[in-house]
Amino acid sequence: MAEYQLLKDYAELGQNLGFTGDELKQFVSELHNQERQRRIELREEDQARREDEELMLKVKLQIEKAKLDIVHVQARDPI
């Protein structure tokens, strides 16, 4: 439904700019392709951000594990 409304809005914009027939179809197609590409890029950016966050969490987990290892060693062999 939202996709249909978007195409309808593009067509209305094109008509307001004076496009008709094939020009209007081309205008709507170009805008639609640009929007699709923008969505793909946003998904890729979001995926990269999530991967970065996951990596940071893994690093933090490793740091906490190392701290626990130090505490265990110190408890077993006090200085």
Domain ranges of the chain: 2-76
Name the average pLDDT for the chain: 92
Q: What DSSP string runs through the chain? A: -HHHHHHHHHHHHHHHTT--HHHHHHHHHHHHHHHHHHHHHHHHHHHHHHHHHHHHHHHHHHHHHHHHHHHHHHHHS--
User: pLDDT category, 77, cuts 50, 70, 90?
Assistant: confident
Q: Give the pTM.
A: 0.64
